[in-house]
Amino acid sequence: MDVLILVYAFLILYPLFLLWWWADSKRDQECYLLDYECYKPTDDRKLDTEFCGELITRSGLLGLNEYKFLLKAIVSSGVGEETYAPRMVFARREENPAYEDGILEMEEFFKDSIGKVLARSGVSPQEIDVLVVNVSMLSVVPSLAARIMNHYKMREDIKVYNLTGMGCSASLISINIAQNIFKTRKNSYALVVTSECLSLNWYSGNDKSMILANCLFRSGGCAILLTNKRALKKRAMFKLKCLVRTHHGARDESYECCIQKEDDHGRLGFYLGKNLPKAATRALVDNLREISPRILPIRELLRFIVVSFIKKWKQGSSKVGGGTNTKAMINFKTGVDHFCIHTGGKAVIDGIGSNLDLSEYDLEPARMTLHRFGNTSASSLWYVLGYMEAKKRLKKGDRILMVSFGAGFKCNSCLWEVMRDLGDGNVWRDCVDKYPPKTLANPFMEKYGWINDEDPNTFVVPR
């Protein structure tokens, strides 16, 4: 009889134990963002109108057509006068940068942002279990990740990942790496370090498709502290709900639209092709198609399906009458409160706004970030997030959709849930009250507009 009781008890309790164990293990797989620190270089590295004009005229390779192109690009870029460039530009060495320039640019960022985020969170470098570093266009030996590990004297058993060539969408790839490691390691800290090195990649030639990168990309970076410790849930700023990565590298058109290469004279630069908007739109559509069912309520998905069917039916029946071919729009605001968009340029922000049917309020954080900090590559998302926080927009329970693009061509997106009311100024602390300004127009046209009236036969490079 006692044996039967034990058998019955085992048959009842063992499934309950397995269910508890499964639920408990899932809880330890959560990914929380404890803190982040965006990098603000010193004021002596700001690119104001006066210095930009001097920088452009230093090159002896540019003619009137290139000057007109640059003026048009800068005026329409959405970039303001307070963005930052690497030190070698101010030392007049952009045409012949040294290897050490790239190292210095990265080390200044590392020592500032990593130190601040660890000190503020109360986590020591020896407690970090995972280190993921992404800097696309600088590959050194020892790696940048190894340099950070050495500087902060991290543990020998730390898991280290050093990513290069991943482009502007690399920070979400780094987050995804940490998220996957959390599924197999309990009670862990992960430090994600995201930036870009401009010192060795400042283009000094006259190819228009490569000059454009100089108009958009600026110095910046961000250090992000993640954990899956459930005990720290109440201290966390955000909780990662889902992350989707889309890669179109198998398509030649997408692969070649955004690439680092040499021009016809052997000068290294970053090429931005005319088919980039098309590649970006295609990647965005495919990415949203996958993430939408994960983040939007069922009622919105059903509404979209029904409306799409009705529109197709009406268009099919009105072809003879010349009916308009309008597409049904899915309303992302039914599942998303804030939109954190990569500051790839004014056209990128406008394109995403059009595709997602967003208001100017939704696009404001991205536009202001582009104006104040420029395109800081993979770290730009975190400056946008910082703007939302500084403006006290982020309340407990809000959901934030991050969307980023990168060479490859890639589109990565993720959804965060705000864990508590937020309002720290972060990198925007000393200037957020000035934003949004009355106008985002920069003074380049006012100062250099006379170039458009110049005669190619008599034009002389200003000195």
Query: Hey, which residues are catalytic here?
Result: 168, 247, 338, 342, 371, 375
Whole-number Å distance between alpha carbons of 167 and 402: 16
CB of 130 within 8 A of CB of 190?
yes
CB of 408 within 8 A of CB of 255?
yes
Structure tokens at 102: 């790239």
Exposed, middle or buried by CB within 10 Å (0-12, 13-18, 19+), for 69? Answer: middle
Structure tokens at 190: 């992960």
Structure tokens at 327: 């597409």
Give the closest residue to 431 by CA, choosing from 385, 393, 386, 364. 386
Structure tokens at 374: 């420029």
CB of 45 within 8 A of CB of 86?
yes
For the beta carbon of residue 323, count every other beta carbon within 10 angstroms. 13
Length of the chain: 463
Most distant CA pair in the chain: distance in Å? 109
DSSP E strands, 263-394: 268-272, 338-341
Phi, psi of 180, deg, nearest 5: -70, -35
Count of CA atoms in the C-beta half-sphere (13 A) of 269: 23
